[in-house]
Amino acid sequence: MTSLSPYADMSPVAQAAYRARAAAADIAPLPRAAKDDALLAIADALEVRTKEIVEANAEDIAKARAAGTSESIIDRLTLTPERVRAIASDVRDVVALPDPVGEVVRGSTLPNGIDLRQVRVPLGVVGIIYEARPNVTVDAAALCLKSGNAVLLRGSSSAYHSNTALVRVLRDAVGGAGLPADAIQLVPGESRDSVRELMRARGLVDVLIPRGGASLIRTVVEESTVPVIETGTGNCHVYVDADADLDMAVEILINSKAQRPSVCNAAETLLVHADIAEAFLPRALDALAEAGVTVHGDEHVQTYGEKSHATVLPATPEDWETEYLSYDIAAAVVDSLDKAVEHIRLWTSGHTEAIVTTSQQAARRFTQLVDSTTVAVNASTRFTDGGQFGFGAEIGISTQKLHARGPMGLPELTSTKYIVTGDGHTR
Amino acid sequence: MTSLSPYADMSPVAQAAYRARAAAADIAPLPRAAKDDALLAIADALEVRTKEIVEANAEDIAKARAAGTSESIIDRLTLTPERVRAIASDVRDVVALPDPVGEVVRGSTLPNGIDLRQVRVPLGVVGIIYEARPNVTVDAAALCLKSGNAVLLRGSSSAYHSNTALVRVLRDAVGGAGLPADAIQLVPGESRDSVRELMRARGLVDVLIPRGGASLIRTVVEESTVPVIETGTGNCHVYVDADADLDMAVEILINSKAQRPSVCNAAETLLVHADIAEAFLPRALDALAEAGVTVHGDEHVQTYGEKSHATVLPATPEDWETEYLSYDIAAAVVDSLDKAVEHIRLWTSGHTEAIVTTSQQAARRFTQLVDSTTVAVNASTRFTDGGQFGFGAEIGISTQKLHARGPMGLPELTSTKYIVTGDGHTR
């Protein structure tokens, strides 16, 4: 029997992917205890080797400062001993999560006596393409390891030294625990070419998860032949129905918009039923102004601007589709719940939409007609989050419909296979 | 409030997709009864208008004959009154299947009192690109309608008249039942350009499912920016373990290979443990010869060819990766179960692999280590099928790991959304 290796003349990226595949095959059948031991070893190693990590991080920060990077990005890049301890603690939280692998999703005995079971299995090799924050390196590796997957990490070049140090610590710990270190790898090469190669590694890499800005995600979605899970863009809406409790509506609006405007589950557009506009909008605009939010309103909203302390800029069509990620919100008055739904369908990125209403019928119709990862009734858009949903850590929030939708926890990092058991059954 | 239509200068394909999106929004919230009524109307209409369908089909057949098409392909293309009745009967079977939409997949009350439910929803617009057989037109439309999806059908040009007539009947029936006819559409244009446009319609089409030959599927997988579910290629293996029951092994081998060699769950490679080769291979080769199967064997297998009635051609590396879909099988002797797994991992398309063994440990190790859609223990590879699994009709067999793996029934044509219900909850 002859065997041909399809990897005879491998590039560094293909080599990494091929080694990841081999490691994936080794860790897929491991019992939970073996994976948890490796995760505990990772957490310990992060604490023991904090100095090495922080020193590597200092190189990235010096480089970023020299390049005139903004302080907010430098803050996201920075690793302090406290932050490394927090990352180690997050890894221990992953240890506590149940292992999805081996879960029997469906099972039955067929009429012919065959036993059929659908069982969760790891996806195999998961590629993560991400920006700035080096904590993602450890979070993603821990979640992939727990779910029996090998991971190829492609962080940004701005975090190169930090990621290199972190992955060295992770690999040493995994190897020390008796598992294949190749289950965790940094994708070699700092250029865009290595990203491109990763996106074309169909058959070697089972899924790519881009985490970062809209342009990164768009590039990966359009150019990848490897299946992609799209994450993150959130043009979220808060719709205040004619039958809303106004106090509740103001609280939910301000929380959705201003509690943390830079994240994907923050609200970006307010829609108000015309019947309640006069009672609600002056209060809402004042509250938004107090929270430091600039309103980009349609003509109807603008008329209330003059009666409140708020600045209301005229909204352009771009405002309806913008994910501000800042203290800005678009606002429009709609004639009915169905008009609100129509607006949302046209402009949403499909992340999270909330309705505030006391009407059971309105809540039911809104949740039926709005097709986003999450529809909230009388609750802030900010709840769309793996931690809030009780899934433990999350690898991202999928805004696509295939495979996973909404916050992705460990089960979303698995596939399934069928096991058919017979006694010599034939057709 | 201004609204911008992104579809101002639409091509015919984009127009179809846009109309499908609108129809999808209308049918997504429909209760089961409304969808079942439309399906029954379809079944009735197919029977009432059989003559119109068969006449249109005759045009395709005449064209195919004139082009010198092989009789086996003409047979797959042919619609007789009996076949149309059978297709109508398949539609009534879909009526009997449970509606996946609205199923609560997970649900809990979070510590803060929020009610969280994950609910099945339609995918939206499903594109099917398929070859020859016009029955797929009706099967796919029925499954998509039942699961609340709109469908864009892109059949082969060889079935153009048949598909046009069928879709006309389907649309009339759906419209007559009060549902939007645009939920079922033939993709306009017979050229490859319309396929290409469909593959780039990300945002309009939610998923593409190619059904057909390997080259069609490869093209769609590589060129589509719309998420794809890869179906069908089946390089399936039967591994006869050292501890196999030999009678059972022969039966499973012959059933897997020869019961219907042209389908994706037929076996294409036989692997035999060296310890049992002398006892098993002569019998297996005789049985294969009797079933009309040509064996492509490695050197070890060839030595048994001389001692049996079988023709054993020398296997080349290509044989290990070939999906013959004919009365041919590749065969090799392996030194251990782990070597069998290694061979499978290297060459399989990941569809179905079977082990024949009396050893519980061997069965357990094989099912753990082999990562294909289906792993069969003491059962024919031919059981990997939606009907056999009790899923009712199937839209295809996914050989990818994301979203769906193995036979795809109605639940695989859905996504989910989260519904978060609070009493004014904020973070």
What DSSP letter does each residue of B356-402 carry, written as one string? E-S-HHHHHHHHHH--SSEEEEEE-GGG-STTTTT--S-SEEE-SSS
Overall average pLDDT of the B282-308 stretch:
94
Q: Do B379 and A425 touch (CB under 8 A)?
A: yes
pLDDT above 80 (res A412): yes
- Please give the residue of chain A at the shortest CA–CA distance from B200: A222
CB B321 within 8 A of CB B234: no
Question: Which of A131-135, A232-236, B307-311, B376-380 is predicted least confidently?
Answer: B307-311
Q: For residue A78, give the 3-state DSSP assignment.
A: coil
Per-window interface: B 22-81 vs A, CB < 8 A: 25, 28-29
Strands (E), B7-160: 104-109, 115-122, 125-130, 150-154
Structure token pair of residue B132? 């020859």
Q: Give the confidence band of B8 by pLDDT, cuts at 50, 70, 90.
A: low
Specify the residue for token string 């865009």: A192
Largest CA distance in chain A: 84
Give the DSSP H or E segment for B409: none
- What's residue A3's pLDDT? 43
Nearest CB among A369, A406, A424 relative to B252 is that of A424
Q: Do B371 and A28 touch (CB under 8 A)?
A: yes
| Selection from B334, B326, B328, B384 nearest residue B354 by Cα | B384
- Please give the residue of chain A at the shortest CA–CA distance from B260: A427
Which of B237, B401, B403 would best serve as a mutation to test chain A binding (most A beta carbons within 10 A)? Answer: B401
Residues of B in contact with A377 (CB under 8 A): 419-422
Question: Which of A179-183, A345-349, B5-9 is predicted least confidently?
Answer: B5-9
Identify which has the larger pLDDT, B132 or B424: B424
Q: Give the confidence band of A215 by pLDDT, cuts at 50, 70, 90.
A: confident
Calculate Rg over the CA atoms of chain B.
24
- What's residue A1's pLDDT? 37
Q: Work out the number of other CB atoms within 10 angstroms of the CB of residue B377.
A: 22
- What's residue B5's pLDDT? 53
- What's residue B215's pLDDT? 84
Alpha helices (runs of H) in A200-324, residue ranges in sequence order? 214-223, 246-258, 274-290, 299-305, 317-321
pLDDT in tens, A107-164: 999 999 999 999 999 999 999 999 868 999 999 999 999 999 999 999 999 999 999 9
Q: How many beta-carbon pairs below 8 A join chains A and B?
A: 238
**Average pLDDT value over all residues in chain A:** 94
Amino acid at A108: S
Residues of A in contact with B221 (CB under 8 A): 202, 225
Residues of B in contact with A383 (CB under 8 A): 114, 420, 422, 425, 427
Work out the angle between the directed axes of helices B32-48 and B160-176 (0-180°, nearest 10). Answer: 130
Structure token pair of residue B217? 């599927």
Cβ-in-10-Å burial (0-12, 13-18, 19+) of B8 comes to exposed
Distance of alpha carbon B316 from alpha carbon B298, whole angstroms: 8
**Reading across the β-sheet that carries B236-240, which strands appear in turn?**
A104-109, A115-122, A414-425, B374-379, B352-356, B236-240, B267-273, B328-334, B294-297, B312-314
Distance of alpha carbon A351 from alpha carbon A370, whole angstroms: 11
A310: contact with B, CB 8 A cutoff: no
Residues of A in contact with B417 (CB under 8 A): 371-375, 405-406
Distance of alpha carbon B129 from alpha carbon B210, whole angstroms: 5
Nearest CB among A222, A372, A417 relative to B372 is that of A417
Q: Do A422 and B229 touch (CB under 8 A)?
A: no
CA of B280: how far to CAs of A340, B248, B259, B283, B358, in Å? 70, 11, 20, 6, 15
Supply the DSSP symbol for B157: G
Q: Do A383 and B427 touch (CB under 8 A)?
A: yes
Residues of B in contact with A367 (CB under 8 A): 419
pLDDT above 70 (res A2): no
Q: Give the confidence band of A8 by pLDDT, cuts at 50, 70, 90.
A: low
Distance of alpha carbon A328 from alpha carbon B390, whole angstroms: 53
Per-window interface: B 230-269 vs A, CB < 8 A: 245, 247-248, 251-252, 255, 259
SS (H, E, C) A189-235: CCCHHHHHHHHCCECCECEEEEECCHHHHHHHHHHCCCCECCECCCC
pLDDT in tens, B134-173: 999 999 999 999 999 999 999 999 999 999 999 999 999 9
CA of A294: how far to CAs of A53, A289, A304, B192, in Å? 40, 7, 14, 49
Identify which has the larger pLDDT, A145 or A9: A145
pLDDT above 60 (res B180): yes
Structure token pair of residue B370? 């082999």
pLDDT above 80 (res A342): yes
Shortest Cα distance, chain A CAs vs residue B169, angstroms: 29
Q: Do A379 and B406 touch (CB under 8 A)?
A: no
Strands (E), B84-240: 104-109, 115-122, 125-130, 150-154, 184-186, 207-211, 236-240
Distance of alpha carbon B330 from alpha carbon A222, whole angstroms: 39
Shortest Cα distance, chain B CAs vs residue A418, angstroms: 5
Shortest Cα distance, chain A CAs vs residue B176, angstroms: 24
Distance of alpha carbon B338 from alpha carbon B333, whole angstroms: 12
Work out the angle between the directed axes of helices A135-146 and A160-176 (0-180°, nearest 10). Answer: 30
Per-window interface: B 333-352 vs A, CB < 8 A: 333-334, 343, 345-346
CB A181 within 8 A of CB A41: no
pLDDT in tens, A256-273: 999 999 899 999 999 999
* Percentage of chain B modeled with pLDDT above 90: 84
Distance of alpha carbon A374 from alpha carbon A405, whole angstroms: 9
| Selection from A242, A247, A251 nearest residue A380 by Cα | A251
In terms of phi and psi (left: phi > 0; alpha: psi -120 to 50; beta: otherwise), the region of B354 is beta
Structure token pair of residue B25? 């929004």
**Average pLDDT value over all residues in chain B:** 94
Q: State the ipTM, two decimals.
A: 0.93
DSSP track, A392-418: -S-SEEE-SSSS--EEE-SGGGEEEEE
| Residue A223 backbone phi and psi in degrees, to 5 | -105, -15
CB B222 within 8 A of CB B310: no
pLDDT in tens, B311-343: 899 999 999 999 999 999 999 999 999 999 999
Q: What domains, with CATH codes, occur in chain B?
A: 12-230+404-421 (3.40.605.10), 236-388 (3.40.309.10)
Amino acid at B101: V
B157: contact with A, CB 8 A cutoff: no
| Selection from A179, A175, A126 nearest residue A396 by Cα | A126
Alpha helices (runs of H) in B177-273, residue ranges in sequence order? 192-199, 214-223, 246-258
Nearest CB among B202, B229, B379 relative to A422 is that of B379
In total, chain B counts a number of residues equal to 427
Q: Do B419 and A377 touch (CB under 8 A)?
A: yes
Distance of alpha carbon B233 from alpha carbon B214, whole angstroms: 7
Q: Give the confidence band of A60 by pLDDT, cuts at 50, 70, 90.
A: very high
Residue environment code for A160-180, b if the CB has 16+ CB neighbours within 10 A, otherwise e: bbbbbbbbbbbbebbbebebb
Q: Do A245 and B418 touch (CB under 8 A)?
A: no
Distance of alpha carbon B93 from alpha carbon A321, whole angstroms: 43
| Selection from B142, B256, B151 nearest residue B208 by Cα | B151
Q: Is the dihedral of CA A120, A123, A124, A128 positive or negative?
A: negative
Which of A342, A417, A421, A423 would best serve as a mutation to test chain B binding (most B beta carbons within 10 A)? Answer: A417
pLDDT in tens, B182-223: 999 999 877 788 899 999 998 899 999 998 888 888 888 888
Identify which has the larger pLDDT, A384 or B308: A384
| Selection from A198, A190, A82, A210 nearest residue A136 by Cα | A210
Q: Do A227 and B116 touch (CB under 8 A)?
A: no
Specify the residue for token string 């990766």: B321
Q: What residues does A109 pair with on adjacent strands?
A: A115
